[in-house]
Chains A and B, each alone.
Chain A
Amino acid sequence: MNETLPISIARKGANVLKYLRPVFGAVILIFIIYRLIQTLLIQEIFGPETWTRLVIAGMIIGSVYALIAIGYTLVYGILFMINFAHGEVMMLGAYTCFFVFEALKNIKVGADHSLAFSNAYPVISIIIAFILGMSVSALTGFLLEKVAYRPLRQAPRLVPLISAIGASIFLQNAAQLLFSPQLRDVANPQILARGSGWKFLINGSSVTIPYTGVFTFLLSLILLVSLYLIVQKTKFGRAMRAVALDKKTASLMGIDVDKTISLTFLISGALAGAAGVMWGLHNSMVYYFTGFVPGIKAFTAAVLGGIGNLPGAMLGGLFLGIIESVGPAALGIDFQLKDVIAFLLLIVVLTFRPSGLLGEVLAKEKV
């Protein structure tokens, strides 16, 4: 009856944690330094040419991650939901890339009808691929929001997540049934042929900077910068930030919340589509499961940078790409374990900075 609540808040557990975290950090730090010294100074397994190669590969994959991560972050900033189907949106972009180049390869032009369109007019065909890929993905994102997320805006947080998971499974299997489960090779135009690139010598062995990689990296930088400018400088960007902060007040200020959210999905879909086309051009492996791993990685990158934070997502993507590529070699671990390093990095960063590297900007009030 007279049960009094324990007012003194006993936090023995919290005290233990206080000591545990630095110890945990110190252990990891010592391990990393030990392995780094081992691999870099004592064993010297890899020369500088390998490191350059790894960093280049990491920067390329990182820029793709960054593009996808932006989509997660934009949607999360506004709706506080993990758009689990975002990877599949990117997968559809990659498929569009495959189909466009396949079609353009079969259109013959020139005097004797022997030159493929994609080789005769490579710039035009790449532009076509990007326009189509981005619009297919943008449309998918838009429809996804309209069908699967909009009716659930007032529901508890887990419900849209499950809906997104359902949509993700649906899109994957739809792609598998439509286009068959086989692995596709994108028919790149000759100027962006895979394997070709600027070669230079380091330590007597040649290092290639692939054209597709440079293209991917530069284009994603351009897209990221333009997106940042859109969000920061335009009227729509202002509306988006306002909706992210407070939907009700934003609607009172005359902002069409539904339209803003739809546009956000369009933009994030378009970026994912661009990432998909680049994936197709650079990695060429296009199949129904293409979007899954990059999707998860990109989400990891978004969280790493502080979800809801645009520069954070870009930085997180690049950071994750490079660490994942360089990490196994630097720590002297098997290359199969690069995903382990990516996720361990996430765990370690979140242990010490629970709201990501740059913290949350768009979404303070979540949870």
Chain B
Amino acid sequence: MKKTYFQPIQIGFIFGAVNVFLVLIGFNAMVASLLAKALGEQVLTALPPFPYLAAFTILLGLWCGIAAARKSSRARIAGNVLAGWLSGLAAGSVTFVFCVGIGWLLSNKIDIRNYLTVLSFDFINGVLMGLPPLVGALANLGILAAAGAVGGLLYGFIQSSKVKQINQPILALTCSTTEKLKRLDHGRRRLAFQILGVAIAGAVVIFLPLNWGSYWNYVAGTVGLYVILGLGLNLIVGLSGQLVLGYIAFFAIGAYTMALLNSPLPYNLMWGFWPALVLGVIFAALAGLLLGLPLMRLRGDYLAIVTLGFGEIIRILLKSDVLTDFSGGPRGIQNISGPTLFGRPFNSDIDFMYLIAISVALAAFVYNRLQHSRPGRAWLSIREDETAARACGVNTTRYKLLALALGAAFAGLAGAIYASRNQFTGPEEHSLMASINVLSLIIVGGLGNIPGTILGAFALKGLPEILREFSNYRLLTFGALLVVMMLSRPEGLIPSKRPKYKTPQEADGRNAEEKNVS
């Protein structure tokens, strides 16, 4: 009995704390101005009109009520409403205390913007909806409680039998479709999906770049480069199970090879794009090999931290004064010339988009072939159990080195194209955060498979570009999403299927049985 009241109140307190936090970072103003823009209102100041700020509170209250009602799982609507109202009340009381606090600041004209940046007097006034402090705080409390109750009501309504009945056929339909899909012959289904996927990708790649503006081509190009990076890291982390954190160092090597060979400063070598591309790939692979040679005894997190250190070493060296004469120092290398093909220079993002698309296709092809070849199987065995793999005669050292070198080569390719496209590369482009981004994208997408990598690259590099509106809150949302994503789908958006290999006996099952009989 006690728990039925206690739990919604607990949820309410959490939501109240979240509300206070969001207000303190100014998130409510951002959402409110988005709402206002969506409804076609001009927002001239940083602070949208009060109704929209209230709308944010209402939305949060609704969510709070729904969450509480869902957790309490009452049968009747009244119970859901009660749970929602209780949680709204709890959230409201937290907000009430907060509002009284900031109201006190407002009425005493104490400016603490130096410490909590968003709390200007206008903003406080907005949160209190233009009312006197105590009344405004009470209004917030009332809104949250009412919205919580409405949320509970909504949830109860959706849960009630009527809606369920409407849902039933839809549910049945989706179930049967997935069943049918499952029953479809595995090989045929896969082939169908592959053809479909390649056709869509081909159409997108061939037609869309011409219609996009330069900006979207740039964004799509970045996503494509991150797909290549992701595939390379997938070879190392996803297939062979070696956790490498400083992966971007290989990208940097590719980028700097391209830059040094094709820029007027500091050497004015101007070797052209294609030789530099090949050299960038080779140098990156060599770096992978050189890093791997002494470190192949290390496992798991030791390898992770050492590669992280390697990445940082490369970045700091590039940035330091010691190498300024050789690598441009902290300012990086500018004016990297682009590629020419049959006398035609690449000078727009569209050209580069095609180049990147071809590279992605190439990388995906190589990745796919590697995955299903002898090294691929060896990597899988190493990932699952290195000792067992070794006992079965897999030369683990060699295959681990191979994975590292090949993964590094992928990164080198991406880096060379990246530098050439941006006509610039500098040490800060190769920070630890970039490595972490690549690692995050392959894990969010689903470790060890190509569609997952592509989806992850879109999610992590494409979405932030689309969500420019969020600007300040981009990284915050990204971090929170990473956590939520891992909590809800730890195996990634597109989980990998475990490949099944048949042993000779199994494939030749009848033969073996006959032998047994005889």
Contact = CB atoms under 8 A, between A and B. Distances in A.
A245 to B, nearest CB: 18
B146 to A, nearest CB: 28
Interface string B52-71: 00000000000000000000
A52 interface: no
Contacts of A347: 294-295, 306, 309-310
B486 A350 contact: no
A162 B401 CA distance: 25
A157 B300 contact: yes
A102 B476 contact: no
A6 B443 contact: no
B179 interface: no
Q: Is the interface of B mostly helix, strand, loop or mixed?
A: helix
A5 B43 CA distance: 72
Given A82-B304, A148-B487, A163-B487, A13 B117 contact: no
Given A177-B476, A351-B294, A336 B321 contact: yes
Contact of A162 (B440, B472, B475): B440
A148 B305 contact: no
Contacts of B432: 296
B490 A303 contact: no
Interface in B245-296: 293-296
Interface in A341-359: 342-344, 346-347, 350-351, 354-355
B297 interface: yes
A21 interface: yes
Interface stretch (B413-421, B461-469, B477-485): B477-485
Contacts of A82: 301, 304
Contacts of A2: 504
B25 interface: yes
Interface string B93-116: 000000000000000000000011
B434 interface: no
Contacts of B395: 9-11, 13
A12 B485 CA distance: 43
Interface in A287-301: 296, 299-300
B321 A334 contact: yes
Contacts of A157: 300
Interface string B365-400: 000000000000000000000100010110101100
A13 B476 contact: no
A155 B321 contact: no
Given A354-B298, A355-B302, A168 B397 contact: no
A367 B25 contact: no
A166 B481 contact: yes
Given A152-B487, A334-B322, A76 B397 contact: no
A303 B483 contact: no
A233 to B, nearest CB: 29
Interface stretch (B186-194, B202-210, B215-223, B312-320): B312-320
A166 B486 contact: yes
A264 to B, nearest CB: 18
Nearest to A165: B436
Contact of B305 (A168, A299, A333, A344): A299
A24 B320 contact: no
Interface in B439-473: 439-440, 443-444, 447, 472-473
B79 interface: no
Given A177-B472, A179-B115, A163 B294 contact: no
B483 A148 contact: yes
A215 to B, nearest CB: 25
B346 to A, nearest CB: 35
Interface of A: 1-3, 5-14, 16-17, 20-21, 24, 76, 82, 99, 102, 147-148, 151-152, 155-163, 165-174, 177-180, 296, 299-300, 303, 307, 333-334, 336-337, 339-340, 342-344, 346-347, 350-351, 354-355, 366-367
21 contacts: A1-B504, A5-B392, A17-B397, A20-B293, A158-B443, A159-B486, A162-B443, A162-B482, A165-B440, A165-B482, A169-B475, A169-B476, A177-B473, A178-B117, A179-B116, A337-B322, A340-B317, A351-B294, A351-B297, A355-B302, A367-B386
Interface of B: 21, 24-26, 115-118, 237, 243, 293-302, 304-306, 308-310, 312-313, 316-317, 319-322, 386, 390, 392-393, 395, 397-398, 401, 432, 436, 439-440, 443-444, 447, 472-473, 475-476, 478-483, 485-487, 490, 504, 508
A-B pairs, top 7 by smallest CB distance, nearest first, are: A166-B482, A343-B309, A169-B479, A170-B479, A177-B25, A173-B476, A180-B117
